[in-house]
Amino acid sequence: MPDYRIVYNPQTDEYRIERRGLFGWSFLMDRQGQEYLSFGDFEAARSHLCGLRRNDEQPHRRWRILDLCGC
């Protein structure tokens, strides 16, 4: 499971989710890969991130990753 974090920009009042990759942090993109995903509040960003984490769970894994974001 890759590392994620939620970041906030006070000038635009937007939240975004970043993912850690080999070359540092990068913003998550929409399905078409043309726009950054932006959220109007922290809870919306957190909900999206928790949905990503649930989708990454694999039922065939012997050890399950505990949900660190509290979902």
- Summarize the confidence of residues 13-27 as an average pLDDT: 92
Q: Which residues contact 28 (CB under 8 A, 6 or more apart)?
A: 16, 17, 18, 19, 36, 37
pLDDT tens by residue, 5-17: 999 999 999 999 9
> CA 8: distance to chain centroid?
13
Is the pLDDT confidence value at 45 over 80?
Answer: yes
The first and second tokens of residue 1, run together, are 């499971």
SS3 62: coil
Could you state, in order of their start, the residue ranges of all structural domains in the chain? 4-56
